[in-house]
Amino acid sequence: MALHNRIFVGLMLGAAAGVTTNLLAGGTRTVEWIVSYITDPFGQIFLRMLIMIVVPLVFASLTLGIAGFGDLSRLGRVGAKTMLYFLLVTLLAAGIGLTLVNTIRPGDGLPSEIKERLLLTYQGQAQDSITRVGQTGFGIQTLVNIVPRNPLKAAAEGDMLAIIFFAILFGVALTRIDKERSRTLISFLEGLLDVTVVIIDLAMKLAPFGVAALIFSVTSRFGFDLLAKLGLYVATVLAGLLIHQFIGLSLLVKIFAKLNPIHFFRSIRAVMLTAFSTSSSSATLPTTIRVSEQELGVPRQIAGFVLPLGATMNMNGTALFEGVTVLFLAQVFGIQLGLGAQAIVVVMSVLTAVGAAGVPGGSIPLLILVLQTVGVPGEGIAIILGVDRLLDMCRTVLNVSGDISAAVFVTRSEGLPLEVPGALVLTGAAAEPAN
């Protein structure tokens, strides 16, 4: 059975077992013991195996991607295209989210007893997120911190923006020195990249079981009860994600990459399932790079440059989620946000999405900043924490799909072929197999 099929089976079995357990014995000490000592630890081991390889993978792939360009003018051109595409898809996502939440208005009429119970249940987690905001902040210092004082410390702390900045400079420097002298370093980085691929393959053998464990941990604790209480909010977020995923990205892939959207989504099934189960763009990055190169034919240097950047900076699903959530909570608290305030929400959602960590729940601390910016109580984040994991899974799928769409766009815009046998590449009005 193909890997993505095994992951899907694990996903379904874990979800079914979790929901059944929740219905029969939800909240009991036995279920909590199983989650705390069996399924959650196993799922976290799988997740950590993927995350532990992200730093060397990002550094090696991004550095080699930049060094492979050789011509710095071409590197600047590709970088500009990549960033403009990221901005386009993120603004489009935030706009879709705000349009839906203003039309559906899911926060109007939420019973006060539900709101009070949610606030009481999750106020501890909300306070932790508020504390983390005070520690990390978001502003001019965020821009300053992109330049690391100590690259090794940035790597140890998982500071992806700082790692990316150092990798870009390192790659640029490799293009500026004599080829004979740079060859040793390039060979080392290629070997490092090959080693990460082997480790990734080993980790992915656990994927079906790790996915099942992660899903069981969530569904056995919460079931569908909380989801039903916040159903309209959840439906609004999911509708926005689906619209952007299968309509917005389909149009972008078809127009800019001349690629058949059906083939595009069929090719990235393993990536979408991995993103859904791990809720982490960073943990999904190894699969994202492998699928982009092997299934869609994205050249290695393009994949190595665009996809690590996308895993940290192209959070279009997160931007959509943040926009919907801010307006939803404003509606719950009876706060009217005018067009000006909503414009601020869009801008802040885009900016904070860039700064969000590519790990489960990484957007929550920065989301509180957006809430406080427009006058919505930061503690209100407690209302949606119970369903955030499910939404985190779904928005991560859009995040990584947007990354791959950027990679195929940049490939085509550079005049390079997507060399995949049987792939449908659109040429004008007709579709023909790619060479």
Q: Which residue has the higher pLDDT, 170 or 281?
A: 170
What's the pLDDT band for 428 if we cut at 50, 70, 90?
very low
46 in Cβ contact with 209 (< 8 Å)? yes
The pTM for the full model equals 0.67
Q: Name which of 108, 95, 129, 100 is nearest 345 in CA terms.
A: 95
Region 381-398: mean pLDDT is: 79
State what percent of residues in the chain have pLDDT above 90.
Answer: 21
Q: How far is CA 228 from the centre of its chain?
A: 25
Q: State residue 16's pLDDT score.
A: 85
Does residue 249 have a pLDDT over 90? yes
Does residue 222 have a pLDDT over 70? no
User: What value does the mean pLDDT of the chain take?
Assistant: 79
User: What ranges do the domains of the chain cover?
Assistant: 3-427
pLDDT in tens, 38-81: 998 988 888 788 778 878 887 887 788 777 766 666 667 888 89
Q: Token pair of 222, please?
A: 């919460």
When mean pLDDT is compared over 43-52, 95-104, 417-426, the highest value belongs to: 95-104
Q: Which residue has the higher pLDDT, 433 or 403?
A: 403
Q: Which fold has domain 3-427?
A: Proton glutamate symport protein (1.10.3860)
pLDDT in tens, 153-162: 988 877 767 8
Does residue 248 have a pLDDT over 90? yes
Q: At what angle do helices 269-278 and 3-25 cross, to 10 degrees?
A: 30
Least confident interval from 184-193, 218-227, 365-374: 218-227
Does residue 303 have a pLDDT over 60? yes
Does residue 394 have a pLDDT over 60? yes
Does residue 170 have a pLDDT over 50? yes
